[in-house]
Structure 1
Amino acid sequence: MRNSIIFVASAIAGGLAASSAFADDGLEPPMDLLAAQLRTQGYACDHPDSAHLDTDVSKPNAKVWIVACKGVNYRMTVVPDLAAKIEKLDN
């Protein structure tokens, strides 16, 4: 029983750590996760090529990512617990 409780607590802690990766400095989320967010919000991004953090405009609670998908680039402002602000960039 005790081992079950420890396992569940560890799983919850691991999940919380993974879900905060968008907001923490220095932790870049996988481009597939950003592409999934784009698709969830109605944008096309089936084959992400790259994603990088734009440190010049990012803020502590608003990370700005440049995501390159097949044929299109997006600027995503990611704020915890809100939908991402997405801008399509000219290529």
Structure 2
Amino acid sequence: MFKLIGFAFGFLFVIGLPNSTALAQETAQSMLAVQIRSQGYTCDKALGAVRDAKRSKPDYEVWVLRCSNATYRVGRWPDMAAKVEVIR
């Protein structure tokens, strides 16, 4: 009985992994869009967000946020306003 329950949870976990990556990406782009809007930038519709591993450091993440009207580079420190740079 316990093996069957363990198998069922394991199966659901593995099936959910591809969707969780998409969900995390969607959450990052919507979170970044909300943050830059709160700082006075316009992001009509968030189309995607990609983490810039080259510019990111410990406790400082850099993301490229694509919106329908512009593209932004967003640098984020914990508990501080983001550094926003308009790329296009």
> TM-score per shorter chain, which class?
0.5 to 0.7
Identity of aligned residues (%): 39
**Aligned residue number for residue 64 of structure 2:** 66
Q: 3-state DSSP class of the match of 2:37? A: helix
Decide which structure has the larger Cα Rg and report it.
2
- Looking at structure 2, the residues matched to 81 and 46 of structure 1 have their Cα atoms a distance apart, in angstroms, of 25
**Greater helix fraction, Structure 1 or Structure 2:** 2
Q: 3-state DSSP class of the match of 1:30? A: helix
**Aligned residue number for residue 81 of structure 2:** 83
How many aligned residue pairs are there? 64
How well do the aligned residues superpose, as a CA RMSD in angstroms?
1.4
- State the AA in 2 paired with 1:42: G
Scaled by the length of structure 1, the TM-score of the pair is 0.66
* Aligned structure 1 segments of 4 or more residues deviating by more than 4 angstroms: none
Scaled by the length of structure 2, the TM-score of the pair is 0.68
